[in-house]
Amino acid sequence: MPIVWLMGQIEPVFLYGIVCATCIVAGVWACEGAGRHLGKPDHPAIVWDEIVGMQITMILVPVTLANLMIGFLLFRFLDIAKPWPVSWFDRNIKGGLGVMLDDIVAGAIASGVLYGVSFL
């Protein structure tokens, strides 16, 4: 959460997007290597994918305490429950890319929902 909070201070939003994209590329490589080293592709000790998922969750809204809390709950629900299409990526894409993609998709869905809820 502190990483996402700090990222929320990045302006304009396209710079936030550049940081997210950089974290995604680095994450594919890091998750691939960590999974190989730990002997399990999506080992519970690998959390970079969750960090990036939260970054994506918060990309469309101001990073306030309320948005962080709601965004965290939305993202974690989607990451744990793995509804379609999150589950499809989790089952069908392997390696570091697969570790990252289900959280990227969960973060994108959570971001859209949080953006929509912010109007209410």
Evaluate whether 95 touches 36 at the Cβ level (below 8 Å).
Answer: no
Place of tokens 């002997």: 39
pTM exceeding 0.85 = yes
Q: What is the dihedral angle through the alpha carbons of 118, 12, 63, 86, rounded to the nearest 10 degrees?
A: 70
Question: pLDDT digits over 31-78, tens only?
Answer: 999 999 999 988 999 999 999 999 999 999 999 999 999 999 999 999
Tell me if the bond preceding 41 is cis, omega within 30° of 0: no
CB neighbours of residue 76 within 10 Å: 16
Question: pLDDT digits over 72-99, tens only?
Answer: 999 999 999 999 999 999 999 999 999 9
List the domain boundaries for the chain.
2-117
